[in-house]
Structure 1
C-alpha cells in the first residue's frame, strides 16, 4: 500500500528538481526522502526518479504516479481541513434554497444528517430562477437547482457549482396506450407522439420542457401544450385519466424499474438518450484562491448525495 509520505517525497522532488531540495522543502533529512522513494520504487517495480549531475527528475512512471497521487494528496489535505473546520466552527446556520420536488424527497434526510455535524438549515423553497437570484445576492448561502444539457444556468463567476446527481426524465403514458410497454423509449419513437396533448410547466421556461419542445421542433413538429402545471401529482393524475402525456423526473416519482406503475394508471418509460436527464447542481459562493465552497456547504453536498443514494 502506498504511504502518503512516498507521494509527498515524489511531489517535492518534482517541485525542487533534486532530492536535497525536496528534503529542504519537506523539512526532512535527505536519507528520509531517499527511504520513501526507494520504498515507492519497490512497490511500483520500477524507478520513479532519475538522478543526474544536474539534479533529479521523475521517470515516466513517476510522472504517471504523481498525476494520480496529486488527487490523493489533495483529497487528504481537504479531509484534514474539513475535519479541523468542523471541530472549531461549532453550530453553523446555513440558509439553503431548493426547488419543491427535491425538498419533498430529500430535505428531511439532509437536515437530519447535517444537524449531527452542528449545521442548522434554514430552508427556502422556490423555483430555479429566484433561487439563483437569491444566491447571487447573498440572501441564501447555497441552492440546489437543476438544468439540462445545452441550457446553462446564469451563474456568476463567484459561485462554486457542483453536480450532485443526474436525474433521468421519464415519459409518463396512460396504461393501455400503444407505447405504454416496459423498457426505455428511444427518441424516434418519442417523436411519434407529436399529435398527443402534452402537459408542461406553468412558466413556459422550464429547461426540462425546453429540451423536449426543441427535440420535436428539430423534427419539424410543434406540440399541443394543453395544460400547464408545476405539480407532478397533477401531471400523473391527468395522465392516468388519459387527458395528456408528459415528462416527469425520476426524483419526483421515486425509484422504479422500467414500466412499473408507481401511480395507478400510469406507465413510466425512461428516454434512451443522455440529453433527457437533468443535472442537480449545488451552487454556493466560493472561498479562497480556488473558490471552493465552505466546509458547511461541502458537508451539505455529502448529505444531498447520501440522501439521493438512499432513494435508489
Structure 2
C-alpha cells in the first residue's frame, strides 16, 4: 500500500520539474522530500526519478505511478468534499482570498458549487495580489488563498504553518496586436526574436514577475513601456492598440476582451503556477471542502497541459 503523502510528493516533482521547487510548494525541506521519494522508490521496487543539473524528471515507472497517483489523490479529494457535505457544515464562516484573473474566470463556478453544497456557511471573498494572500493565510486573516508564482524565479518557501498546493500550471505566451510581424509563422518563436521590440513590462510594480522580466532582458527584450498596474486587462488593451508586445499567462491571453494574436515561445520555460494556500491539517471542514472542489474543478497540474483548456 502506497503512502498518499509520498504519492503527492511524486506528483509535485512531476509538476515542478525539480525536488527543490516541489519541496517549496509542499512546505517541506528538499532533504525531507528526497527521503519521502526514496521510500516510495523502495515501495515501488524501481527508480522513479532521474536527477540532472536542471532538476529532476520521472522515469517510465515514475510516469506510470504518477498518473495513477493523480487518480488516487483526486478520489481522496472528492471523498473529503462528500464527507464534509454529509456533515452538513451547518453555519460557520469561510474566508477566501483570490487574485483578479482566477477570481473572474475560474473561481465563481467553484464557489457556486460550494454554496449549493453548504448553503449555511457564511462565505466572504477578498482580493489579494500575490503573494499577499499567502501572508493573509499565515496571520489568520483568511482561511485559504488562491495565489500564483512565476518561472523563471527563485523558489520561495511558504511561511511556517502554511501549505501551498499546486492547482494549475500554464505557459506564458507572447501577445501582439492583430497582424503584427511576430504573430506570423508556425511553431514556437525564439525569445531572442523579442530583442528590439517595444515590450510592455509589469515590473517593477509586480514583484512575482521580476524573474521573468530578468530572463526577457537577458534575451535582449528591454521594457519600452512600464505598466505599473498588476492587472493584465490594461496590458492586453495596450498591446491590442499596437503600443507594444507583452508576455502573459496563456489564460490571460485567451480570455482577453480585446483582440490579440498569440504565439508560444521557445524555450517553454516561462510559466505561471496557480496554487491554493491553506493551514494544512488545521484547516476547518469548510476550507477542506472548498479545497477538494478546487482540485476537482481545476484538475492536477501537468495532467492536461495549459490553462487554455481550463483544467
TM-score scaled by length of structure 2: 0.64
Q: In the alignment, does 2:113 pair up with 1:113?
A: yes
Highest Rg: 1 or 2? 1
The equivalent residue for 2:145 is: 143
Q: Which residue of 2 aligns with 1:226?
A: 225
Extract unaligned runs of 5+ from structure 2.
Answer: 3-42, 46-64, 300-308
Pairs within 5 Å for 1:166-181: 166-181=169-184
Note closer, same or farther for the CA distance 1:136–1:64 as it changes in structure 2 (3 Å cut): closer
User: Matched residues in 1 for 2:185 and 2:223: separation?
Assistant: 25
Deviation at 1:78, TM superposition (A): 7.2
Matches of residues 53-132 of structure 1 in structure 2 within 5 Å? 64=44, 83-88=82-87, 89-118=89-118, 119-132=121-134
Residues 148-196 of structure 1: CA deviation (Å, up to 9, x unaligned): 233334511311211000122121112222211265524xx22221212
Task: Kindly state the Cα deviation for residue 215 of structure 1 after the two structures are TM-superposed.
Answer: 1.7
C-alpha deviation, 1:277, in angstroms: 1.3
Task: Report if aligned partners of 1:172, 1:248 keep a CA contact under 8 Å in 2.
Answer: yes
1 CA distance for matches of 2:78 and 2:261? Answer: 44
Asked whether the 8 Å contact 2:168–2:273 carries over to 1, the reply is yes
1:226, distance to aligned residue in structure 2 (A): 1.3
Q: Tell me the C-alpha RMSD between the 2 structures.
A: 3.5
Distance in 2 between residues matched to 1:92 and 1:307, nearest whole Å:
23
Name 1:235's counterpart in structure 2.
Answer: 235
Separation in 2, partners of 1:138, 1:281: 18
Deviation string 1:121-149 (CA, Å, 9 cap, x unpaired) is: 31001201321221110001000000023
Q: Is the 8 A contact 2:80 2:288 kept in 1?
A: no
More divergent stretch after superposition (79-88 vs 135-144): 79-88
The higher-RCO structure (CA 8 Å, 6+ apart) is: 2
The within-5 A match list for 1:160-199 is 160-181=163-184, 183-186=186-189, 189-199=190-200
CA distance, structure 1, for counterparts of residue 80 and residue 133 of structure 2: 29
Structure 1, unaligned runs of 5 or more: 1-6, 9-62, 256-260
Partner Cα distance (1:232, 1:76) in 2:
35
- Kept in 1, the 8 Å contact 2:253–2:262? The answer is no
Is the Cα–Cα contact under 8 Å of residues 175 and 248 in structure 2 kept in the other structure? Answer: yes
Matched residue, 1:263: 258
Would the alpha carbon gap of residues 120 and 303 (structure 1) be closer, same or farther in structure 2, given more than 3 Å must change?
A: farther
Q: SS of the residue aligned with 1:127?
A: coil
How far apart in 2 are the matches of 1:77 and 1:99?
27
